[in-house]
């Protein structure tokens, strides 16, 4: 209305006054990425915030003019991640070198409207497909970053800065994703018992670091819960009878995200269960072996102020870096040299894989396994397809009987 009063001309296609159209068209990719993050920031999980910023930092570092004084791509990504994109850190103090990099980037970031050209989109995708050392990024990383770029461009269409999402017009060969579990990582029950025992020997001279997290690893294995779900367990979530099977009520997840990504400023985010409603709870029966381990853990270490079972010796949360180090040392104690350099039980998460594979190969119905593990049946069978070898002989015998009729 103000433009109309001034007698300003209007663009026929967009319906915007010419002054506003020029202002919008002048927005750089980095400036629009900031607007996009301002819009998205309040709702997503902390880990999603981190992956979104990582993707836009990769794109922002690639989509710049080839001007004099261009900083190294590593430095461009760093300042984008630490200072430019995050709504919470844009007003932070900068060193002189950082200020020079930020000023260069804000001047040389290309206009968003340049992405209307497929060649420009391909340039950004090529940057997303490469790691800092120039090698190809993993398929999952590339696809995740591409999805973030697609959402940003869709928001640009919504804001009428682009007429359509140019990603739909660019055909780029995407690396193949492998969504099946590598059977080499799956440990058998005897190997898991050796590993859990070895955990208790880690750090005996350093405040018993391993003993503090022994029950944590055991819970991941015997309940097939995700490590982030186990970290959120409280004593009130556990049904631990004197004899027989018990139960865990899993209703929260504490994924490690980093302080910069969480609203609370804590390292671990507070989320509901993966792919479930906010207040949904998954009841998982646990065998007597785990019941005894958890009872011993409570008798020895008690709980934290908030009732959680697992915490560090100094009372804080158990960081992923801590239990990863403990696990790496336990593998050195429990496995042969050849097994140590193999993928066998390479990560704590592989305890969950070992449990689910054991259940499926032992004949537990897939529907029950999926319910306990928090999967859908189709995802469960697809992920563990290569690990379902335990019943092959039984199936062959059944088929022999059918053929002999």
pLDDT at 76: 93
Amino acid 207: pLDDT: 59
Assess whether 148 and 95 both reside in one domain.
yes
Q: Is residue 365 in some structural domain?
A: yes
Query: 198: pLDDT confidence band, cut at 50, 70 and 90?
Result: very high
Domain residues for the domain of 247 are 183-392
What is the average pLDDT score of the chain? 85
Asked if residue 124 belongs to a domain, the reply is yes
| Band of pLDDT at residue 14, cut at 50, 70 and 90 | low
Question: Which CATH number characterizes residue 256's domain?
Answer: 1.10.443.10
Q: Are 143 and 228 found together in one domain? A: no
What one-character DSSP code corresponds to residue 90?
T
H helix or E strand, kind and range, residue 209: helix 209-223
Q: HSE, CB side, 13 Å, CA atoms: give it for residue 368.
A: 7
Of the residues 110, 143, 169, the one at which a domain ends: 169
Residue 127 sits in the same domain as residue 239 = no
Q: What percent of the chain has pLDDT over 90?
A: 44
SS3 345: coil
Position 282 in a domain: yes
Considering the domain architecture, whether residues 343 and 213 belong to the same structural domain is answered as: yes
Give the pTM: 0.71
The helix (H) or strand (E) run that includes residue 285 is: strand 282-286
Is residue 174 a part of any domain in this protein? Answer: no
Whether residue 405 lies inside any domain: the answer is no
Do 143 and 194 belong to one domain? no
C-beta of residue 186 within 8 angstroms of C-beta of residue 339: no
In a domain, residue 309? The reply is yes
- Nearest CA to 340 among 217, 194, 208? 194
Residue 285, beta-bridge partner list: 247
* Radius of gyration over every alpha carbon of the chain, rounded to an integer in angstroms: 26
Q: How far apart are CA 106 and CA 101, in angstroms?
A: 9
Tokens of 93: 């103090």
Q: Please report, for residues 113, 227, 265, 321, the alpha-carbon distance to residue 256 in angstroms, rounded to integers and kept in the order given.
A: 37, 10, 12, 10
Whether the predicted pLDDT of 304 surpasses 90: no
pLDDT (tens digit per residue) in 29-88: 999 999 999 999 888 888 888 899 999 999 999 999 988 889 999 999 999 998 899 888
Last residue of a domain, one of 140, 169, 198: 169
Of the three residues 169, 203, 238, the one that is the final residue of a domain is 169
340-348 average pLDDT score: 94
The verdict on residue 111 lying in a domain is yes
Give percent of the chain with pLDDT exceeding 70.
85
CB 53 within 8 Å of CB 77: no
Indicate whether 270 pLDDT > 80.
Answer: no
Q: How many CA atoms lie within 13 A of 85 on its CB side?
A: 29
Assess if residue 398 is contained within a domain: no
Task: Dig out the tokens for 11 from the structure.
Answer: 């663009």
Among the ranges given (98-102, 136-140, 259-263, 371-375), the one the predictor scored with the smallest mean pLDDT:
259-263
State whether 124 and 211 are in the same domain. no
The predicted structure's pLDDT at residue 320: 82
Q: Are residues 329 and 285 in the same domain?
A: yes
201, 155 in Cβ contact below 8 A? no
Across the range 81-108, mean pLDDT stands at 88
Residues 6+ apart with CB under 8 A from 48: none
Q: What are phi and psi of 227, to 5 degrees?
A: -55, -40
CA distance 246 to 290: 8
Q: Measured in whole angstroms, how far is the alpha carbon of residue 199 from the centre of its chain?
A: 25
Number of structural domains the chain divides into: 2
Q: By C-alpha distance, which of 165, 139, 163 is closest to 154? A: 165
165/187 same-domain check: no
Residues 23 and 87 in one domain: yes
Residues 87 and 163 grouped into a single domain: yes
Alpha-carbon distance of 220 to 100, in angstroms, equals 47
Residues 130 and 237 both lie in one domain? no
């Amino acid at each position: 209305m103000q433009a109309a009063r001034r007698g300003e001309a209007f663009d026929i296609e967009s319906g915007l006054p010419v002054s506003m159209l020029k202002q919008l068209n002048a927005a750089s990719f980095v400036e629009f990425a900031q607007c996009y993050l301002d819009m998205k920031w309040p709702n997503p999980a902390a880990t999603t915030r981190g992956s979104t910023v990582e993707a836009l930092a990769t794109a922002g570092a690639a989509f710049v003019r080839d001007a004099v004084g261009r900083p190294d791509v590593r430095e461009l990504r760093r300042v984008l991640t630490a200072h430019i994109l995050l709504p919470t850190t844009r007003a932070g103090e900068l060193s002189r070198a950082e200020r020079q990099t930020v000023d260069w980037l804000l001047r040389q970031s290309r206009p968003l409207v340049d992405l209307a050209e497929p060649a420009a989109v391909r340039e950004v995708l090529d940057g997303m497909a490469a790691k800092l050392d120039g090698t190809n990024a993993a398929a999952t990383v590339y696809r995740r970053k591409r999805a973030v770029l697609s959402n940003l461009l869709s928001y640009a269409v919504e804001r009428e800065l682009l007429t359509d999402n140019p990603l739909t017009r660019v055909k780029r060969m995407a690396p193949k994703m492998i969504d099946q579990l590598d059977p080499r990582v799956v440990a058998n029950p005897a190997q898991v018992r050796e590993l859990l025992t070895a955990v208790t020997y880690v750090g005996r001279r350093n405040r018993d670091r391993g003993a503090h997290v022994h029950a944590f690893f055991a819970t991941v294995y015997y309940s097939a819960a995700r490590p982030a779900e186990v970290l959120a367990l409280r004593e009130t979530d556990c049904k631990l009878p004197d004899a027989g099977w018990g139960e865990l009520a899993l209703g929260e997840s504490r994924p490690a995200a980093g302080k910069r990504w969480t609203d609370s400023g804590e390292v671990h985010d507070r989320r509901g269960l993966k792919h479930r409603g906010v207040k949904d709870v998954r009841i998982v029966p646990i065998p007597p072996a785990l019941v005894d381990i958890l009872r011993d853990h409570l008798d020895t270490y008690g709980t934290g102020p908030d009732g959680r079972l697992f915490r560090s010796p100094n009372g804080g949360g158990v960081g992923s870096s801590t239990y990863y180090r403990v696990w790496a040392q336990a593998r050195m104690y429990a496995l042969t040299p050849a097994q140590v350099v193999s993928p066998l039980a390479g990560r704590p998460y592989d305890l969950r894989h070992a449990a689910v594979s054991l259940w499926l190969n032992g004949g537990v119905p897939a529907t029950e396994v999926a319910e306990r593990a928090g999967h859908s049946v189709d995802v469960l069978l697809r992920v563990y397809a290569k690990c379902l070898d335990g019943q092959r002989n039984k199936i062959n015998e059944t088929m022999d009987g059918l053929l002999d009729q």
